[in-house]
Each structure stands twice: as C-alpha cells, then as structure tokens.
Chain A
Amino acid sequence: MNFDPRFSGRKFASVGTRPIRPDGIDKVTGRARYGADFNMAGQLVGRILRSPHAHAKILKIDTSKAEKLAGVKAVITAADLPDLTDGDAAMYDVLDNCMARSKALYDGHAVAAVAAVDASTARQALKLIQVAYELLPHVTDVDEAMKHTAPLINDTIFTEGLEEKPVKPSNVTKRSQFGHGDVHQGFGHADFIVERSFKTEQTHQGYIEPHACVANVSSDGTADLWVCTQGHFVYRQHCAQLLGLEASKLRVTSSEIGGGFGGKTHVWAEPVALALSRKAGRPVKLVMTRDEVFRASGPTSATSIDVKIGARKDGTITAAEATLRYSSGPYAGTWAEIGAMTAFACYKLDNVKTVGYEVLVNRPKTAAYRAPSAPMAAFAVESAVDELAKELGMDPVEFRIKNAAQEGTRSSYGPVYGPIGIGPTLEAAKTHPHMKAPLGKNQGRGMACGFWFNFGGQTCTDLNIGMDGSVSLAVGTVDVGGSRASLSLVAAEELGIAYEQVKAVVADTSSLGYNDMTDGSRGTFSSSMATISAARNAIKILRDRAAQMWDIPVDDVVWENGHAIAKGEKYGNLAALSLKEIAAASGKTGGPIAGHSELVADGAGVSFATHICDIEVDPETGAARVIRYTVIQDAGKAVHPTYVEGQYQGGAAQGIGWALNEEYIYGKDGRLQNAGFLDYRIPVCSDLPMIDTQILEIPNPNHPYGVRGVGETSIVPPLAAIANAMSNAAGVRMTHIPMSPPRVLAAIEAEREGRA
C-alpha cells in the first residue's frame, strides 16, 4: 500500500490525537493478566535445573531420586525433547538452548526440568537430580574467543564467508562484508584519518516481567499455551515443530506482555513447559526467576569494533571502514552482519567497507534487543566521527550535515535511499534550544545519530462490526506499548467513526491468520496497514448494504465521515445512513458486516534519529549523570503521538543505562556474577532527567498515512551521544561501554598523568 498523497495536506480526524488506551483501566487497577497471572485447574509448578558451569560435557543425568519424591509428577531431560528439527540448523540450536543435549554451553543452560504439585516440592526435586559433568575449558570474551588458541565451543563449525574454505574449525561462524568503492584509495585522499578500537559489554533487555507460561497438552495431541511473548504465532510454530505437534492444534494465547524489547521473540522455557505437561498429563505453569532471566534468556552481543574514517580538510569524508566482532552466545548468529550493515548507514560515502565476524562464546544465546546490533556499531562510528570533527576543527553537527545521506544516496549496506530523515533530524538538532543552553562546571554536551531498518512482514487483521455499530478489531501483533490504541485510531479514521466506538484486541492463534512477531518496529506500521485494508473491505460491504437499504446501485453510494451517502441529484431526499444504522439492519441485508485483511506489509521505511545529551561528571569519582536529554526522530506519521514519545523516551533510557552502567560481568570461572537487578544496574527514576522529544513527520511513501516504525531507533544513538558528551565534559575519550565510574576515573587519572 502506498502513501496516499491526499493525506499530506489533510487533517486527520482521529490519527494524531492522544486518547486513553483501551487496555489502560485494567492495567492501573491490577486486573490486566500477564504471563504469570493466569492459572488452570490442577496445574503443576514447573522448574528448570540449570548448569552451573560455563562449558561442560554432560556425562549422565540421574533423575531417579527426583522422580521418587512425593508430589513430583514429571521429570524431563533432553531425551523428552527429541530432535525433530529435520536438518533445520537454526531450530536445532533453539532446541538445544531450551534443553542441553550433549554439552552445557553456558552458566544457566537448562539440563533438566521437573513438574510438581507446588513450588517447594519442585525446588526439592531439582536438588535430587544428579548431573555428572566433565568440565571443559571455556571462553566468554569475544576477542579471546577469536584467537586460534581459544577453546572450541562447537568443533563442527567452519567459518562461512571466507574466500578460502577453512580447514580447521573455529569459534567464528561467519564473516560478512558490505560496502562499495575503494577504501584504500579513499583514505589516500584524506587529510585527516581517525582510527580507533572500541568494546561494548553484553546487556540484557531487562524487561520487568520474567518469562512465564502455562502449558496444557492433552493426550489427543491438542494443546494450549498461555504465554507472554512478542509473537504468539511464531511461538506456536516453534513449539509445534519442537514437540511434534500440529500447529493448528496448538492454541497460543498471548498474555499482556510486561516488556520484551526483542527478548520475547524467542522460545526459552515454553517447549519445556509443554514437554512437562505432556509427560505429567496436567497443566504446567512455568515462571522464570529473575536470576534465570539474566542467566538463560536473551542478552545482546558483546562487541569489539575497529573503525577508521578519513576526511578532507573541507570536511568531506573520503573513506570509512569498520571491522565488527559480535558475540552470539554458543550458537551461530547474524548479529555482526546487522552491525556491519547499519554502521555507516547515516552517511553519504563513496568508499566504505565493513566486515563482520560472528563469534561463539560460552554465554547465553544472543537474542534481539531493540534495533539489535545497531547501538554498538553506532557507538564506535559516531565516537570516531566526533573525533574526526574535532581534528578538522568542525562543529560535530555541521560535519554530520555535510556528510549525511539523503534521497538518492547509495547506503553503506547497498541500496539507494528513498526519502529519508537523517538530514532533517540533524537540521532540527542544529536549531534546537538544547544546543545553545549554557553548561556548568564538569558538564559536557554530546550528540550522535542513529539508524535502523524497521520491518513489515506478514499481518492479518479482522474488523467486525456489531449490530449496535461498535467495531471490534482483532489484530495478531502483540501490543507491547499502546498499539491497541493506535490501531483503534486508524480503524476510527478509516471508518469515519469515534475512537471510542472501536475496541481492539489481540486475538489468539486459533482465531486469526498467521502474524509475524511484534519486532523490527513493525507492530503499528504493519497492523495499521492491515487495519486500513480491513476497514476498506468493510466499507465496501457497508456501501453495498446501504445500497440495498435504499434500493439503489452500489456505485452510487460513497462512504464519507462514517456515513453512506447517495451521490447525485436524484437521491437528494435520501438522508445519509450512519454506520450504526447500516449495522442495525445487517441481519436483513445479508448478515454480519466484517472486513478482513491478509497482507505482507512491506516498505517499512528506514528510520533515523539524532540525540543531544548533557552530562555532568564528578572528576574525583568518575560518576556521570545525564542532566538533559533530547531525542529527535522521524516517525513518518505519529498515529498516537504520546506513545511515539514514549518509544523515544524508553529507547533513550535503555541506551543511557547501557552507556553508563549495564553489563554482564563474568568471573574467571565463566559464571555470571550479576544475575539480578541489584548489580545489573538499569536506570532508576532518580538517575534520569525528563527526556525531551521532537517528532518529525517525513511521510513513508509505502504506507497510506505515511507511518514509519518508531520503536527501535531511539536506542541507537545514546551510547555515542553520552561518550561524546563525556569527551567534552571530562576530556577523556571512552572506548569501552559501559562507561562505569571505575573505567571513567581510570581514564581521567591516566589523562592527568599523561598531561603531567
């Protein structure tokens, strides 16, 4: 569906307003049901036994004592989840991650599970399971894992993407490369070259709701799964495949979701809960503890990145090059590839080359985290860009404006851009009052840009019009942050009715066609497209019914402002029929009125943001505090601006946490030392200032209203924006994220000593 140019000048009736969300009341009164808030009669408590070792061969698992404990109804190991993946390597990895087969590959890797009548019995049962391990050498650092001497995590892995086929196995699963032009020649034309190496530590999405599900498998092969997920249709497919169930017989209902940010795009414990239920013959509720969430569910990659950028004296970048190494946990991933694609996407470059290496380490399987892989690449590139601007003596905003990509620019990842928003966000930053605000002692300002692709994907929506004229909208994309409100606005807009007349729900997998997950910033983009299409299909029927009611040809009926109107002089006496009137008569005019839509929502449209940030650094302790923050981002068209702002603010806050304090800390023994919210430090309320937002609206040519995805891009610039602010506040260039106080203080001291 393309952008409807009629809308560029048109005032929307509903879209762009800020009503209260339909699921709000339940959420403020405690009635909303999340993953752990659902129970089934006779349910058991499921618990998972996890490896305490970073890397170990599983020699034997003795479950006999646990099975004999009174109240234990099922104990399972990998033998109860046999390999049905039929050569699908990616699914095999998912299976092995859910329940280790021959080896435990990280601290927290599941090795067995129990279902018992209550939590304390289940806990006791776990203690009775005896696992014999043979410890293997481990590696958790991405650079260490790449060395020839590193312990091999999987000796069947030979690096893909090399010119010559490797003869020895390696922890590097794949090399990827992007770019165009000739960087060697480009650097030859540069007057200034900045070359830096960076490292970022692993972070977790940090959703407040732990993974939770209730599984019920019947002996006839039908099953129900209640679960907090970003994509219940995808969970259905994966669980059905891993358990050998027919997809249509597994009904998955998505609960309210207490945060996902990419971490709930992947099955972790759900297949285990289903396997337990199958074996026990009773429903099983499985809720991860916070410790398990950190140890065994989706962190992002740790990275090591080298960047080299050259520019002429006039500020034109002549060449840019980056080598990016991303950890993917113990299974193959494509995270460095995405980093390599996004790294230089903001800029117009004649000569650019990026190389990515996917690296296995003994850490949890890497999962997507909001614009996955882009923040680390942007941290490295935008830090180097700032350094280069400094060397050139140019203002960092001007330098970026001079080199910003625009419509017609060949992107660093290949294709040529259509209309894009990087230039406008930079221009907006340049004139933003934040840029001119005075700074105090030990304070510094930084800015940085960010890019993300955004996705569309398979989407299906039902719009049913009740006989009272109210509209129920069933969508298949999980609502992670207010999309039921925005989709209701879109339905109201198309039908020409009030927002309050529409009630949006997220349908279960048996009630609606397949939908891809709510990922890649696609929720509102894709489902709004499907909603528009469904509404237009419903309008066709409404017109037809009105034509019947008037007994005139349907071609003479138009739909305007929620009414059927008979067009032409000859119908002058016919009063317009409201949606409500047509719906009331529907029983006599052909039955229920509904509109359906099944589509692949393509053309999500890339997204850009520019962030500005002020920080204050305590030079005696290295502590940094963000004192002012501004997000400027292109939304295409903001359907519900308040929730668009919310996405901008939330992404920025996550980025701030990542920049300053969040990190996975592993001991020498390869065990995670900070698997809790006490020492995995996500920002608290008193850590942050208000986060100002500026929404730009550069219509996406591929959406009828011009909507772009907005969910992810806002996490991309903060790491670099804060590093650049740190450089200006404390005079140190931090190349290691997070910029925790010990690291900052050490850098300040080194700088002092260097100067002395």
Chain B
Amino acid sequence: MVEVTLWGALGQLAGGKSKVEVEAKDIRELFRKLAEQYPGIEPWIEKGIAVAIDGTIYRDTWSKELPKGAEIFLLPRLAGG
C-alpha cells in the first residue's frame, strides 16, 4: 500500500481527498487502480500525469517501481520550451 498525494484539481475528482491509499507496486498499477477507484481521474491519466517519487519526476514510465514508504506525488504533465 502506498500513499499518493493528489494535486488540487485531481483531489476534487477523488471526492475532495488530497491523499489516497493505493495498493500498487509500479506506476502502471498505480494508474490502473486509481482509475478503478476514481473513474473521474481516468481522462486525466489519458492526457498524461507525471508521478514524483521521492522528488524525482517521472512521466510515462509504467515500469517504475514505487518503493515502500516513498513519497508519491501526482503532478500535471508539463510543457517545456
């Protein structure tokens, strides 16, 4: 079980929660379970969500493992110049 922090807009789609608990070992599983538990989040996942694991931001790396006790933070996907 990992604790995942959602940013504002996403939190609203998860029933106003800013933190949710998800049983997931990697980013792929995290996205799948989130979409199951909170269907409102699914379109956002489709558009692209970044995952910060202990401060390092990952984009679409499904296989990236979520270490136990790690800080997991969801962020909007960004554009760069």
Residue of B nearest to A175 (CB): B9
Contact residues in B for A174 (Cβ distance below 8 Å)? 9
Quick check: is B23 within 8 A (CB to CB) of the other chain?
no
Nearest-Cβ distance from residue B41 to partner chain A, whole angstroms:
13
Interchain CB contact under 8 A, B9 and A416: no
Q: Contacts A368-B79, A372-B79, A520-B78 known; A600 to B8 CB distance under 8 Å?
A: no
Give which listed residue, A163, A175, A522, A603, contacts B80 with CB less than 8 A. Answer: A522
Collect the chain A residues with CB atoms within 8 Å of residue B52's CB: 414-415
Among the listed A175, A176, A177, A369, which residue makes an inter-chain contact with B81, where contact means beta carbons less than 8 Å apart? Answer: A369
The residues of A that contact B75 with a CB separation of less than 8 Å are: 341, 413-415
Asked if residues A262 and B59 are in contact (CB atoms below 8 Å), the reply is no
Q: Are B54 and A416 in contact (CB under 8 A)?
A: yes
Contacting B at CB under 8 A, from A452-489, are 453-457
Measured CA separation A310–B17 after assembly (Å): 28
A261-B81, A337-B76 known; A177+B9 contact, CB < 8 A = yes
B71 part of interface (Cβ distance < 8 Å): yes
Say yes or no: B7 contacts A178, CB within 8 Å: yes
- On whether the beta carbons of A453 and B60 are closer than 8 Å, the reply is no
Counting chain A CB atoms within 10 Å of each CB, which of B9, B54, B64 scores highest?
B9
Contacts of B9 on A, CB cut-off 8 Å? Answer: 160-161, 174-177
* Residue total for B at the interface (Cβ-Cβ under 8 A): 24
A417 touches B55 (CB 8 A): yes
Query: B12, B54, B80: which contacts A712 (Cβ < 8 A)?
Result: B80
Residues of B contacting A605 with CB < 8 Å?
56
Number of interface residues of A (CB under 8 A): 47
A600-B61 contact, Cβ under 8 Å, with A176-B8, A372-B80, A414-B52: yes
Minimum CB–CB distance from A132 to chain B (whole Å) comes to 36
Contact yes or no, A702 B56, CB < 8 A? yes
Contact A415/B80 with A176-B7, A176-B9, A177-B8 known, Cβ cut-off 8 Å: no
A712 to B79: give the CA distance in the assembly, Å. Answer: 12
Interface pair A415/B8, CB less than 8 Å apart: no
Known: A176-B9, A262-B81. A415 touches B71 (CB 8 A): yes
Contact of B55 among A90, A205, A416, A711 (CB under 8 A): A416
Rounded to whole angstroms, the CA-CA distance of A178 and B55 in the bound complex is: 16
Q: A416-B54, A453-B57 are in contact. List 15 more A-B contacts (CB 8 A).
A: A163-B12, A176-B7, A341-B75, A341-B78, A411-B55, A414-B73, A415-B75, A416-B55, A418-B56, A455-B80, A456-B59, A520-B79, A602-B56, A602-B59, A712-B80
- 10 examples of A-B residue contacts, CB within 8 angstroms: A161-B8, A262-B80, A334-B79, A341-B78, A372-B81, A415-B52, A454-B80, A520-B79, A520-B81, A600-B59
